[in-house]
Structures are given as structure tokens and as C-alpha cells.
Amino acid sequence: MAHPLEPRLAAYIATRIPHASDIAVSGLERISGGASRETYRFMLSWIDAARPRHRKLILRRDPPASLIDTDRRVEFEAYRAFRNTSVPVPDMLWLEESPAALDHPFFIAEEITGFQAGPAALFTSPDTVLHRVAEHKWTILGDIARADPTSLTSIVPTPALDQCWHRELGHWEALIDRDADQPLPITRAALRWLRTNPPPPAQRLSIVHGDYRTGNFLYDAQGEIQGVLDWEMAHLGDPLEDLGWSLQPVWTFGRQGLAGGLCPPAHAIAIWERASGLTADPAALHWWTLFNCIKGQGIWVGSAAAFNSGGNRAPIMIYPAWWLINAQERAMLQLMGRL
Amino acid sequence: MTPPVPAVLAELAALAIRNAAPGIPDGERANALGLTASLLAIAAETWDAAAHHLVEENQAIRALIGETGDDPDLRISALQRENNRLRDALIALHTRAEADGDEPLQVRIWAELVASTERRRLSTAPV
């Protein structure tokens, strides 16, 4: 049975490639592509200059209520900023911010096929592959940190270097205040410490991916990263923010002592410093890593709130809250030297 | 635990009925089944000790904030409401202890906070 979105999607695409004919969408199915957007893969077929064409594409559509509420234009432009650079990203095709065509805003992109993203499968790989993934992972993050941020300055706020921390901490604290339906004493203690001990100003203003972790990139059997995904939290800020997220304890996936479940943190930091040309001051990086525990908690309590409010009853909204709210508090205890 | 277990189980029951219908794409059905299985496993792991842990924690926090009493209503929803009240009071006490430089009290509070995460810890948790 054809998915009911197929004819509507084909009608929309026909308006974007008016020179083509016989446009058809087939094989549309929802895939697990994170909880902040509904992600579908499909095959697009069309006739162009009397020749049949086919292309595998991805549809990312806003859900009724999201785990994180983000601007799909920023996500779309962040991908585009890194097209044809050392940071591998899929080709972004069309952005539609009106809900008219498919009930919610969406964008359509190339599907990068033939590679895996899941951490569980990655951790069964030989050590040589894990080492290569680690090397490539933090090299790419360094490349993101040193990239020219001007491609995003017209669509996202540009904080002063000494205000990057303040802006991010305020944003995520406000979301926790809004969404947490149970008191979080450890999270509150971490918030007090972060406000009392702010980090130094950012070394430079960078594009911050916002969710750069194991599980959000596609890798091949040799350990080469073929696609960096999930840019929906991209913004401008302190490049140590992304490094701190990548070192967040919950992203060890239980492989304690290994950043991202891949390598010792000191090794990851050294790779990043080499690639970015920047310095990861230990005290500043500690602040940003603890901050990222707050950010994580903001996301997990937000997912619970989206479910509890009835805005989105999908199981993917439950799992992060059940699995990670307490783990996130334990990560804070670790970083504050209490565990 | 949030969202509450009864609301989640009701939602999973409805999801199972929807996925039993014909015409659901294989990939979507597989995703739903996988997540459902993971959530049911967590509910199973936490069910037996849920009330015990809340009573234990409520008693521990009452001792820290200088309250007496117990939990007359042992339904998990009632225990959770009382736990929320007590943990709010604990946050206030912790904030005052930091402002006053009361190190011994801070040590006792941190010990309880560590214990609270042990009570809630899942076997599959990453930390």
C-alpha cells in the first residue's frame, strides 16, 4: 500500500523542477532519524530531457511537538555551509517553511546510502576501525570549529565572545524551568556552580554543530566518516561547546573512560586541537562539558514534557527521558567529583 | 519516572493495536516494536522496587530537612507527589547550605543525592 504522503510529495516536487515530467515518489517509509524531526526515505523518479531519472532522497518534516524546538532553516543552511568541504554532509535540495504542502514545514535532501550510524554496531568493530573513527570524528569537529561562520550570521544570533556561555546556559536553564515536571536537585546544583564559575571568553566565534556525538554520523567499514547528520541545533558560539558535548559522559554509551565510546578523552582533545588550531583550556573545557550535561537534561525533560502534554505521544519521546534523566544527573556527579 | 509508567503502558497498548493492522510499512513497524520492547524492559526493571525506593528516599530527605512523618498513601502517584515536595525542599536546603558555607550539611546532602541516583539507576544506563 502506497504511503498517503507520496502523491502530495510528488506534487510538491513537481513545482520545484518544472522542466521535469512524470514525477513519481515511491517507497516512502519513516526511518529512525532522531526525535526532533520526522524522517522518511523515498525514491524520486522523473523524466528529464526524455531520459528516466531516479534518486534516493530524505524528507525531514517537523513533528506536531518536538523533543527540541528548532528552526529548520538554520538546519538546512548549516548543512549547506559545509557542502563540498572536508566536513561530509548530504546535498540539501529544497526547504519548505509553509505547512501548506505537507501539513508541517520540511526539507528534502540527498540520502547518503550504504553506511551505518548506530553506536551498538560500531562498538563491535575491530579496534583499528574504532581508532580511525575517533581520528576522523574529532578531526571533522576541529574542521567545523575553524570554519568561517559568516554563512550563518544572517540567520542566527551572533553572540559576543564573552557572552557565548551566558546565552547558552540561559537558554537551556529556561527550558528546564519550563519543562521539568519533577525537581532535579543535582541539575540545580550544577546550574548554581556553572553560574558561579563562568568560563573565559571564547577564543573565536564558530559554527557549533550542537549535537556532534557518536550516533550522529555515518561511517564505513574502514572507519571513515561519510556523513555528518543532525544539525538541527546548529548555532554560533564557543567551539569548546561542541567539544564538550562530544565528551559528555552519557555519550560513552557505557564504555566508561572512552570519549564517545571510542578513545581516551585526552586523545580526542589532542586530535581536535591539531585540526582546529585552537586550545582546549582544561578549566574552560570542564565548564563546557558540565554545561552540556545541563543541555542534555534540557532535551530529556523536554521530551517527557512533549509526551505528558499530549503534543507528541510517540515512543521516541519517552525513551530519552526514561533512559537518560538519571544517567545525566550521574554524569553531573562525575564531573563535579561527587561520584 | 517521567512520563509516568501507566500513561506509557496505555500508549504502548494503543501502538501495538495500530501495528497489528495490515499495511504498516515494515520499517515503521520494526522501529515501533524495537522502541516498545526497550520501554517495556525498563518498566519491568523498575516496577517491583518503585514504591520501596520512593518511601526510602522520602524518609531520607525528611531526615535532612528536619521533618518527621511517613507516607500514608502507598500508591506510586501519591509517593511521587510527596517526593516532588520533598526534593523541592532539598534544593532549597542545599542552596542555603552553600550560601552559609555549611560543609557538613553539604556532605550529607551530596551523599543522599548520590544515593538517589543509585536508586534510579537502570542496568542499561550509560553512566
- pLDDT per residue over A120-160, tens digit each? 999 999 999 999 999 999 999 999 999 999 999 999 999 99
Neighbours of B120 (CB within 10 A): 18
- pLDDT per residue over B62-117, tens digit each? 999 999 999 999 999 999 999 999 999 999 999 999 999 999 999 999 999 999 99
Strands A92-96, A106-110: pairing kind? antiparallel
Nearest CA in chain B to A327: B127
Q: What is the ipTM of this complex?
A: 0.96
* Confidence tier at A3 by pLDDT (50, 70, 90): confident
Helix (H) or strand (E) holding B90: helix B76-100
Q: Is A35 on the interface with B (CB under 8 A)?
A: no
Residue A283: C-alpha distances to residues A256, A274, A287, A330, B109 (Å): 21, 19, 6, 20, 25
pLDDT at A33 exceeding the cut of 80: no
List residues of chain B with CB under 8 Å from any CB of chain A: 1-3, 7-8, 11-12, 15, 23, 25-28, 31-32, 35-36, 38-39, 42, 80, 83-84, 87-88, 90-91, 94-95, 98, 109-110, 113-114, 116-117, 120-122, 124-127
pLDDT at A35 exceeding the cut of 70: no
pLDDT, mean over chain A: 94
**Cα–Cα dist A46/A102, whole Å:** 20
* Chain A, window 179-198: residues with a beta carbon less than 8 angstroms from a chain B beta carbon: 181-186, 188-189, 192
> What does the block give as the cell for A314?
510517540
**Cα–Cα dist A63/A38, whole Å:** 6
Q: What's the average model confidence in pLDDT over A264-271?
A: 98
Torsion of CA A147, A151, A155, A157, to 10 degrees: 40
More confident residue, B85 or A316: B85
- pLDDT per residue over A42-95, tens digit each? 999 999 989 999 999 999 998 765 555 568 889 999 999 999 999 999 999 999
A189 contacts B113? CB cut-off 8 A: yes
Please name the amino acid found at residue A311: G
A185 contacts B90? CB cut-off 8 A: yes
> What local confidence, expressed as pLDDT, does residue A70 receive?
64
Q: Please list every residue in chain A whose beta carbon sits closer than 8 Å to the beta carbon of residue B91.
A: 183, 185, 188
List, as one string, the DSSP characters of A208-262: E-S--STTSEEE-TTS-EEEE---TT-EEE-HHHHHHHHT-GGGGTT-TTSBTTT
Strands A106-110, A235-237: pairing kind? unpaired
Q: Is A32 on the interface with B (CB under 8 A)?
A: yes
pLDDT at A312 exceeding the cut of 90: no
The answer to whether A108 and A94 have CB atoms below 8 angstroms apart is yes
**Cα–Cα dist A23/A12, whole Å:** 10
pLDDT at A166 exceeding the cut of 60: yes
- pLDDT per residue over B15-26, tens digit each? 999 999 988 888
Nearest CA in chain B to A184: B87
B25 contacts A29? CB cut-off 8 A: yes
> What does the block give as the cell for B104?
557538613
DSSP H helical segments within A114-155, as ranges?
119-122, 127-146
> What local confidence, expressed as pLDDT, does residue A113 receive?
93
